[in-house]
Amino acid sequence: MLRTAQQRKTLCSSCPVARVADLLGDSCSLLVLRDLLEKPRRFCDLQNSLSGISTRTLTNKLKRLEGEKLVQRKEFTKPPRVEYTLTQKGAALRDVVDAMRIYGKKYL
């Protein structure tokens, strides 16, 4: 991950790979996407799947993914609950996540 905003701005302005790496460069974001590629999830489902992640960290990751329009937060009134789903832009990352899964199984 890039350390300063200036480093991020400089590198990410000219390189699409750097932009994606900056967005998804931490394992938590990728694992949230992995889970949401299967089906919509509630916050507690994501937290259980990502054992050891703090509530604050997961909240921040979800907010960032929402801000990038990869994840959508849906509120329901009956029964009251919140679910997270992938947007079309988020679902377009399926090939990236699948490629990582294949690479991990084959080489790691």
Cα separation of 33 and 21, whole Å?
14
CATH number of 26-107: 1.10.10.10
Using the CB atoms, write b or e for 6-42: b if 16+ within 10 Å: eeeeeebeeeeebeeebebeeebbbbbbbbbeeeebe
Cα separation of 8 and 22, whole Å?
8
Q: What is the pLDDT of residues 51-101, one digit of tens each?
A: 889 999 999 999 999 999 999 999 999 889 999 999 999 999 999 999 999
Render 49-73 in DSSP notation, one character per residue: HTTT--HHHHHHHHHHHHHTTSEEE
Do 33 and 75 contact (CB within 8 A), yes or no? no
Identify the H or E element spanning 103.
Answer: helix 94-107
Q: What is the pLDDT of residues 42-58, one digit of tens each?
A: 999 999 999 889 999 99
- pTM of the predicted protein model: 0.84
Structural domain spans, the chain = 26-107
